[in-house]
Amino acid sequence: MHITHRSRHVARVGTVLLLMSAVSACNVNRLLDTKDKDTSPVGSITSAAGLPNARAGAISQFQVGWAGSAASAGSANEGQINMTALLTDEYIDLETFPTRIAVDQRNTTPGNGTLRGNFLDLSQARVSAERAAGLYQQFDSTNVLRAEMLNLAGYSYVVFAEDYCAGVPFDSIAPSGKVFYGQPLPTDSMYARAMKDFALALTIAAADSAVNGDPKGFEQLSLSRVGQARVLLDEGQFNAAATVAATVPLSFVYAIEGSSNSPREYNGVWYFTTQLAFSVADNEGGNGLNFVSAADPRVPTMDIGGPGFSGVGQDFINEEIYTGPTSNTPLATGLEAALIVAEAQLHAGQNGVWAGTLNTLRQTAFTSAIPALPADSTTDNSVADTSRVNVMFRERAFWLYLTGHRLSDMRRLIRQYGRTANHVFPSGLDAVVGAPYGSSIEFPVSSDESNNPNSHGCLNNHA
């Protein structure tokens, strides 16, 4: 075996759970079914004493929707991190599931069974977070854990806005089980719902930290602020994003912890690596980054010396960021906030300051210093805009590898920086199966939403 950079990425371990949202209209009972042992049915919680169970259930659902799990022996619950990695240049599929292979080939369709399951898992995560937040409002409205549930709900809207087409409907369900079908939302409306949750969470967390000096309050303040800065960045409000992000300490991390208590609680990114399903990609489709051959300590990998689950083809390359079932799953960090500040500096033409910010991160945000960026990559005025944008997004890709940011970044390269999809996403012939890549740059509204009379699929497929 050839082992490459097995050192752990300490600075990235910590942040949590991307929460996704959108209720699947045809599976109301399943949508309300939370399988975690610590969860109480919503109608059974009649006092503040039951709130910890509601919170535990919400976090459990987010773990499944965001990082995946080992439930169902790996035939489901792939999680958003894994699926966005397949659609982008982070992973290649080296097993046999045709629905996952289709995602890797950029052919995402509403009826894809894997994507339908993931859509439902994310929907359950949102419903659980919003349900828990509502119970905290009813029984203990000033509790900082209400802020945590609101933050998780907010991140669910962010993920749908970043990774899905416009037109996701967000249904709601009454305690009686009655479904109120949502209208398809344009992307900016999804972001608006996220910002509303973040703003309320910030208010609650600020009051808690001011009155009690509570570390949980300070944690939730930073979680809200990273969420707000992320939305502002996605919307192209670079200066506003940097202003918020600059208030987040570099040391901040928020993580959902994996657990070895049950397969459902395993870190799903690690689990699918053990199944030899999703291999670290290297220069995928010509446009992909060299995540393996760069030998960069931010993306530790291991060549197992043989093929993946399919038993044929190229060697399988393990990711070595998540190394066990209890590995933490990132959502928001001070490192991400610093990268948002850096991109705003670049956008403002503060090239020297921008290069200094990136190099400072290379010196301080890891267990050992990473060499400074080559000077010509940050100062060459002959190709300044193109070169520096490439550097910025490469730094984000390596710092934030397998944390669910890459798909949004690739779409932003199209939307905000004028790139074309075939110059951003893997293109040409897929080296694994030899077929041409498709044209997908996002996930569609699930065909499960066909029972919602308001939903008719994607409103558009713009980046």
In order of start, what are the domains of the chain with their CATH numbers?
A: 2-451 (1.25.40.390)
Could you tell me if 269 and 80 are in contact, meaning their C-beta atoms sit under 8 angstroms apart? no
Task: Return the SS3 of 315.
Answer: strand
- Residue 177 has a pLDDT of 75
* 71 secondary structure, DSSP code: G
CB atoms within 10 A of CB 222: 25
Rounded Cα gap, residues 321 and 194, in angstroms: 29
Rounded (10°) angle between helices 406-415 and 80-87: 50
Torsion of CA 321, 129, 446, 267, to 10 degrees: 20
- Residue 46 has a pLDDT of 82
Strand residues in 214-351 grouped as ranges (E): 253-257, 278-280, 301-307, 315-319, 328-333
Could you tell me if 102 and 289 are in contact, meaning their C-beta atoms sit under 8 angstroms apart? no
Task: Return the SS3 of 313.
Answer: coil
* Pairing of β 91-93 and β 278-280: antiparallel
- Residue 42 has a pLDDT of 59
- The residue type of 245 is A
Residues of the chain with pLDDT under 50: 1-39, 382-383
Closest listed residue to residue 103, CA positions, set 454, 461, 446, 442: 442
Token reading at 250: 């570099």
- Residue 368 has a pLDDT of 85
- Residue 8 has a pLDDT of 32
Could you tell me if 303 and 2 are in contact, meaning their C-beta atoms sit under 8 angstroms apart? yes
Rounded Cα gap, residues 37 and 60, in angstroms: 10
- Residue 247 has a pLDDT of 98
Rounded Cα gap, residues 352 and 358, in angstroms: 10
Rounded Cα gap, residues 257 and 63, in angstroms: 8
Rounded Cα gap, residues 37 and 107, in angstroms: 37
Rounded Cα gap, residues 84 and 309, in angstroms: 20
- Residue 41 has a pLDDT of 61
Task: Return the SS3 of 275.
Answer: coil
- Residue 14 has a pLDDT of 30
Task: Return the SS3 of 165.
Answer: coil
* 222 secondary structure, DSSP code: H
